[in-house]
Amino acid sequence: MGDLKRMKFYYRLAFQKEIKDHHELLGNLKKDESPQGYFRLAFYYEKYDITKMIENYQIAGQKGIPQAFYNLGKYYQYIDKKEYEMKKYYLLAYKLGFKVAMRSLCEYKETLLKLEIEHCKNLYLKSHSKKDLSKLIYIYQNESNYPEMIKYLNLLIQQKDTEAMKKMAWYYQYISPDYEKMLEYYLMAARSGDIDGYYQLGLYNEYQTDRVGKVERMKNFYLNCIRKGHVWSMVNLGLFYRYVENNFKRAEKYLKMAEDNGKEGWLRHLSTEYWDEKEYNREEYDSY
């Protein structure tokens, strides 16, 4: 029994000493109003009072200590899990020259991206829906992971998805230039009912510097779209006739057609004198 009493006595003594030490430490920390003083006080409060910890880290950060903001970023990333606050404090730390903060933010985003990709994969494996697969393709495209993007595009193309066909054509137009493959996928989309495939080919041929043979192809692609009521093809063909070939009659035909289909203002590209002298004849301009 004597040993038990002595043990309790020493435990109580140690506890009282610890409390006394804490009070002395806290008193000394509160006396120090330097930026480092506020930082050390916030560090002390990490164990005892989160509200005061945040308050003192904010003061230390405002007084020029970037690690104070960085520590708040870590708190909101790992403890309180508030993404907006985490980003705010990491960026404040970075602006004060604490480069590690940006690395932490990048690592966080990279982790989120990996989790999002895995989440999308799991969704697709469960649902096999076009929506989930399209989101996965979008992620891979943004990350320039084109082999994975193409793999999943092919799955959608097998389902006759015209947006996937156009995305594949875009890849062969801009990322890995291959005219024949680009043509193949844009035509595939157009023949599957998406007239935008013809429109994209019209644009492609219009802006080629080597114009040999391109002009007639461009016109044919735009005309295919116009027959389906594609208004921007009317505008583009009208402007081509106006500014490239200076054919005012044909320019008037397609720009007026665009106006009749809701795209107002394009007739300003025709001279006032020319337009005033002409009278629109629907029967004439509606014929091809």
Helix H, strand E, coil C: the string for 236-253 is HHHHHHHHCCCCHHHHHH
Q: What is the pLDDT of residues 43-93, one digit of tens each?
A: 888 888 899 899 989 999 999 999 999 999 999 999 999 989 999 999 999
Count other C-beta atoms under 10 Å from residue 138's C-beta: 13
Cα angle, residue 43 at apex, residues 39 and 49 outer, rounded to 5°: 120
How many residues would you count in the chain?
288
Per-residue pLDDT at 94 exceeds 80: yes
Reported as a pLDDT band with limits 50, 70 and 90, residue 284 is very low
Q: What is the pLDDT of residues 132-160, one digit of tens each?
A: 889 889 888 988 999 999 999 999 999 99
Residues in Cβ contact with 77 at an 8 Å cutoff, skipping those fewer than 6 apart:
86, 104, 108
Residues in Cβ contact with 258 at an 8 Å cutoff, skipping those fewer than 6 apart:
231, 234, 235, 238, 266
Which H or E run includes 274?
Answer: helix 272-277
Q: What is the pLDDT of residues 193-230, one digit of tens each?
A: 999 999 999 999 888 767 667 889 999 999 999 999 99
Distance CA 17, CA 19 (A): 5
CA-nearest of 48, 39, 41 to 69 is 39
Domain locations in the chain as residue ranges: 20-107, 195-288
- In percent, the amount of the chain with pLDDT more than 90 equals 49
Distance CA 75, CA 56 (A): 14
What is the pTM (predicted TM-score) of this model?
0.59
CA-nearest of 178, 180, 184 to 166 is 184
Here the tokens at position 200 are 């994209």
Here the tokens at position 95 are 């602006």
DSSP reduced 3-state for 200: helix
CATH topology of domain 20-107: 1.25.40
Count other C-beta atoms under 10 Å from residue 224's C-beta: 18
